[in-house]
Structure formats: C-alpha cells, structure tokens
Amino acid sequence: MAQLNFGGTQEVVATRDEFPLQKALDVLAKETIAVIGYGVQGPGQSLNMRDNGFNVIVGQRAGKTYDKAVADGWVPGETLFEIEEALQRGTIICFLLSDAAQIALWPTVQKHLTAGKSLYFSHGFGITYKDQTGIVPPADVDVFLVAPKGSGTSLRRMFVEGKGLNSSFAVYQDASGNAREKCIAMGIGVGSGYLFETDFYREVTSDLTGERGTLMGAIQGIFAAQYEVLRANGHSPSEAFNETVEELTQSLMPLVAENGMDWMYANCSTTAQRGALDWWKPFRDATKPVFEALYDSVKSGEQANISITRNSQPDYREKLEVELAELRDSEMWQAGTTVRSLRPERA
C-alpha cells in the first residue's frame, strides 16, 4: 500500500501499480461473484468485472431491469439468475440494491450467507445503521466495501475509455484473514483507479453529506438561486442557464478536474479571477452553517431514518416522480434541454 501525504495527513492508498489486475484475478480466482441488483451500481460494476475476466453472475428479478441485463449480454441460466439462485451460487455476494431494498431482502440474503462467503457493499449505510436496518452479518463471513466516487454510469464510461474512477474501500469484518486482499481485488476488478482506505461509518457519513451537499442538493440550490436572480433582472432563459450551468459544467469543472481550482482560476480572465477571489469567502460563510446542520443531521442518524421511512413506503416511486418533475419541468432545466440540443456534434 502507498502512503500519501494530504496536507500533513497520511493516508493509505491502493493503486494498480502494487496491486495489478492479474494479482486481483489470482486473489479471486476461486470465487463466484454474485451481483445482486442491476440498477444504479450493478451494471457498471458487473460489466467491468466481467470484461476484466472475473467469474461474475447477476441476480435480478424478472422485469425491465432483468431485460436490460439480458440486453447487456448476461445469459439467463448461465450468468443471469433469479436472486435466490444467484445468492446460492455466489461466494462473494455484492449487495448493490438500494438501501431500502436491502432492508427488505436482507432475510433472504442472510439465509444464504454460509460460512466462508463474503458480503460486499458499495455503501456503508446498511451496516452503519444496523439498529434501523436490521442488517447484521453472521460472524463467519467477510464483510467489506468498495465505494466508487461516482455513479455506475460514470464508472462504466470511464472503464470503456481506459480510465479508472477513484473509490474508497473498507473492511468491516475479517473472518477469513484475507478480507482486505479480497476487498482491494474487488476494487481493482470493478474499475477503480485508486482506492482510498476508510471505514463504513466514515464512508456513509461523508457520502450522505456529499449527496445532500455539493454533489447534488447544494449545487441544485445554488443553480436555482443564481438563475432566478438573473431572470428577475431581465436576462433571457438561455443566457441565465448558460451563465449558471452550461459554462460551469462544460468549461470550468473539467479544468478543475484536470489540475485543480487554482489552475481553473489561472485560465480565466483577470476580471473573473478578481470577482471569484472576492466572493468565495462570503459564499463559504453563508453556506457553512447549512453544511454544519446537514452533517449533524447525518451524524445523528436523522437522515438515515428519513431515507428508510420514506423510501420504504409503497407509493415511494410515485411521490419521487412528482418531486423529480418539479426539477425537470422548471424553466431552468427546460432551458437546459434546449441549450443541450444545440451543442454541435464533434467531428
């Protein structure tokens, strides 16, 4: 493992240099990896492992998602099974259903977690909030996670492009004495570029904060605020959208991803630099109390309880669609649909 210095803090990072793909294949050579769920993370992780040469099967109930798995090349009766049969066949159970679905399916999964098997997650939710979820693995199985820092779609896209999406990894229970090595091998298999060590609690608290914060919740709130101010002051929908979203996502964020915020600043006009340097601290000061309240809500378990309660309701999907429609049908994102349609095709 590499020891990297992050601003004076030492962190353990696993890379493909010291843990190449062939080593990962050797570690998991006798394993049957059963991916349970083919929704958000399931397709990307299972397809990447399959293309990397691992022995992978998928467990999914009949329906649209099952049909998608067939379209992706999983063969019924050979590499695609009903969930219970996949659980029985698998030696590493990749539990990639939604948090609410994991709670509902846990009694079935638990029945098939016989001694010597491994239980794999991509989120620390079920284990960390075990008092609420009821997910308590037996003592004679390994339990670990690999959490890609992005969607399953991004994980797959980057893999196809020959790149790797960074992930975190953690071992919760080492019954075999080999859980850490298996965990890192799985991380390499699913297409991670680097693997940063953490634990289940830190993974879920940072993840819940990030999703509700800068990754999704905060960014939508900031987009909406700026867009509404521009529109209220006479700017057209396209101009407001371009200055709020399009320039950020298409131009500036790729520069940040490439070399950092300071490099992005250096590649903007001096007028833009001056304004950004003058205003970032007021934005930090205005939003930091919101982030502190958010983190406290995550840490207390309140956010987990909200997710479990709401996402377990029988009409959850219908209510979710109503809330998503508010975003989709807003003027800002309708403008976005039009602006995106005007992007020229690359030659």
Closest CA to 124 of 95, 84, 90: 95
State the catalytic residues: 123
Do the Cβ atoms of 169 and 197 come closer than 8 Å?
yes
Q: Which residues of 285-307 are buried (b: 16+ CB within 10 A; e: fewer)?
A: eebeeeeeebbebbeeeebbeeb
Phi, psi of 9 (to 5 degrees): -100, 125
Do the Cβ atoms of 168 and 195 come closer than 8 Å?
yes
CA 193 to chain centre: 14
CA 169 to chain centre: 13
